[in-house]
Structure 1
């Protein structure tokens, strides 16, 4: 499951864009909507209040004009404040209505925005009686107070909406972060983790649907991987008997070049079957480390010299480690074999404390291996070509996990050299833990 789910690791995601949390997005959205609603309502209330006050002012002006008209008809004089005869400032629209024999009111706005109230009526001698008043100071003050209250209310709505958005978004963000953390644990191979259990909570929402979907996907992937592993192990196990028989029969053939070719292919097939079985066992997480105390530098030196006396071994700092010697030797031999097959000499091995480094001077590891780690049946790329099935590094990585160790890969380049410049070598680094094995899911058995 580690191989397939490794692509879920967020470390490989594109992080070049601006990242914002759900909490702040939701808060900004609620604040924006609240601001728009508050502005719209404020405009509606302001206009409605202004229209209502203007209507009252026009009615009052009309009533005063009617009183002034009655007084004028009795005394032939405009005996009323602000009433004039044939006022030259009378708006043209109001004059048009009066000319048709109608009593009417009209509103104009001063440059300052304060409205003027006009009322006019034709009288019996052909003159026009008009009343001109302004918006009262009390009405203006009421409208200003109303606008101030609307502004304060709008600000309160925006702030309250933002706070509500932070609270709601914070709860949703926490659930999503818990879901992401649990999904990353699943991606690292912790198949017992369930995203739905990790987020918790009583309320059921879309986050729960997402968590259940991720759990279902992880279960389906795990079942598929387990089925493939069992099939692979069963096939490899079934092949052991006929391959062993084939090798035995080949050894009975008369000496000669054909016999050598048959023996060589039979041995290669037996090695392939054994490696596939080992990979299947490592994938099943059923392997157990048998721990012993060893001097790491001395151990590595003896194993490397036995493998190839021409390989240089340098012990920078000797240390006593507790590990499984058989599995450590398997990791070391596979790293040396990979360096010899895909790299170029000289091959150098160094031991410093609990760290083992294996370096060659070839074209370096392929980019997909550096990004995703070793994968079975992947032979590399054209710049590090070679024959094989990608089992060596896969087995080395699996055995390192059983030991609680960490196996890393990198290419050697000159300082500051861009990525398109060919590498000057490849380095595999095995980091043995201080207390082995740790955090691997294995159960060490002390001899």
Structure 2
């Protein structure tokens, strides 16, 4: 739980923000595969189109030139020309007519009477002798080939996208599982593991995702072992200190009255309080605490906790609300917050109840930067007053046990400000009468 609410990154004005799904690996892989398939299909289609078109045109050109040779021999022999041949025919392309006028032969594909035609022309007494070959079948063949290339390219791209989506989704699903487990571990679930089957069989080759999953599981196991060892050490030390402290406390009461005996009793009380705090933190760490939830009016409950603290704290109820909480643990949280405000802050200390939110504020120098950034830390305090940094740590842990949210911040005009938000109780079956608070 973060100690402060950081401002959300806003959108730069004038620059549209892309949807979140565009940043996913699946979308990027789909775009990459699509672009590569389109580029490959375009390249192969162009090569096939050029090759087949060249072959078809060469075949038609050879046929037209062969006919032109036959027609030229017939023209020179004075024989009548066939229907597909003529001298200076209508529809002969001007460029081909000029080529024949210069004494050269050539061919060209052009439309003749609305049909594609292969023309071949050569010189004949200063004029152009030309033959034509129907090119419609060849044109339809090339058009059909282009359509087949386009259709097969679309099918190939679709099939490749389907296979690529399946393969990428399997990888991203494993990555999402690894990220989910990492979030559970960061939230405190140290038993969470990825358990990728590829990491359990040493003979099975591992990919990069399996390597990351195995590393995360190993890190979680190591972290869990260290934390459990620390928790056991804290609990054992606290339990072992209880017995000698009890004897020391009894012995201190037997000392004759005086300043030395008062100092001894004061230190013994401080050590006993520290031991009890360590035991409470140990129980919070092991999550062995159970709650006794009930519905209470938050205003009177807060006033009672302030009176029990014995501090000169003012209470202001802006709007009362009924909350579902554990009264003993809530009083513990408020008591620790009040003690911290009076010990490390400056008067006046104010408690405000506004609906299900309780705010404890002092007028001191405010919380240190490390606390606002990372939350309370044990045995760390930057104040000149006495303290072990356990009060806020216990308050934070107890707030989490009762399902409340405890955040820390500094007021704009100075002073530390702790904000406790409790789950508000709503009675859906109430018939309009006010229920008795608590118990």
Q: Give deviations 1:92-150, integer Å, cap 9, x for gaps.
A: 9x97xxxxxxxxx877789xxx99776989xxxxx9x9978688344234323433443
When the two chains are superposed, the root-mean-square deviation of aligned CA atoms in Å is 4.9
Distance in 2, Cα, partners of 1:249 & 1:192 = 45
Distance in 1, Cα, partners of 2:250 & 2:109 = 112
Q: Give deviations 1:332-379, integer Å, cap 9, x for gaps.
A: 211101212333321112345654332223344345544543332343
Q: 1:109 to 1:218 in 2, by over 3 A?
A: farther
Gapped regions of structure 2 (runs ≥ 5): 12-16, 89-96, 111-115, 197-205, 427-438
Paired position in structure 1 for 2:28: 25
Q: Give deviations 1:286-329, integer Å, cap 9, x for gaps.
A: 12335677665444323322423421123456667665444333
Paired position in structure 2 for 1:201: none
Paired position in structure 2 for 1:388: 387
Q: 1:389 to 1:118 in 2, by over 3 A?
A: farther
Deviation at 1:205, TM superposition (A): 7.8
Q: How does 1:55-70 map to 2 (within 5 A)?
A: 55-64=58-67, 66-67=69-70
Gapped regions of structure 1 (runs ≥ 5): 96-104, 122-126, 198-203, 414-421, 436-446
1:340 equivalent among 318, 339, 342:
342
When structure 1 is superposed on structure 2, of 360-369 and 159-168 the one drifting more is: 159-168
Q: 1:37 to 1:386 in 2, by over 3 A?
A: farther
2:289 equivalent among 277, 287, 303:
287
Distance in 1, Cα, partners of 2:101 & 2:195 = 75
Deviation at 1:395, TM superposition (A): 0.5
Q: How does 1:168-317 map to 2 (within 5 A)?
A: 176-177=175-176, 180-196=179-195, 211=213, 213-242=215-244, 264-290=266-292, 296-316=298-318
Does the Cα contact within 8 Å between 1:58 and 1:119 map onto a contact in 2?
A: no
Distance in 2, Cα, partners of 1:27 & 1:377 = 52
Distance in 1, Cα, partners of 2:101 & 2:280 = 102
Deviation at 1:284, TM superposition (A): 0.8
Paired position in structure 2 for 1:397: 396
Does the Cα contact within 8 Å between 1:24 and 1:166 map onto a contact in 2?
A: no
Distance in 2, Cα, partners of 1:295 & 1:79 = 115
Deviation at 1:53, TM superposition (A): 0.9
Distance in 2, Cα, partners of 1:12 & 1:192 = 32
Distance in 2, Cα, partners of 1:191 & 1:297 = 37
Deviation at 1:242, TM superposition (A): 5.0
Query: When the two structures are superposed, what TM-score results if normalisation uses the length of structure 1?
Result: 0.67
Q: 1:79 to 1:404 in 2, by over 3 A?
A: closer
Secondary structure class of the residue paired with 1:365: coil
Paired position in structure 2 for 1:439: none
Query: When the two structures are superposed, what TM-score results if normalisation uses the length of structure 2?
Result: 0.68
Distance in 2, Cα, partners of 1:91 & 1:151 = 42
Secondary structure class of the residue paired with 2:99: coil
Secondary structure class of the residue paired with 1:236: helix
Paired position in structure 1 for 2:49: 46
Q: Give deviations 1:371-408, integer Å, cap 9, x for gaps.
A: 5433323436xxx7765332111111222233343333
2:40 equivalent among 15, 19, 37:
37
Paired position in structure 1 for 2:113: none
Q: 1:226 to 1:246 in 2, by over 3 A?
A: same
Q: Give deviations 1:173-202, integer Å, cap 9, x for gaps.
A: 5665555445434433344554459xxxxx
Q: 1:210 to 1:82 in 2, by over 3 A?
A: farther
Q: 1:76 to 1:341 in 2, by over 3 A?
A: farther
Q: 1:349 to 1:163 in 2, by over 3 A?
A: same
Distance in 2, Cα, partners of 1:133 & 1:386 = 109
Does the Cα contact within 8 Å between 1:363 and 1:426 map onto a contact in 2?
A: no
Distance in 2, Cα, partners of 1:109 & 1:259 = 120
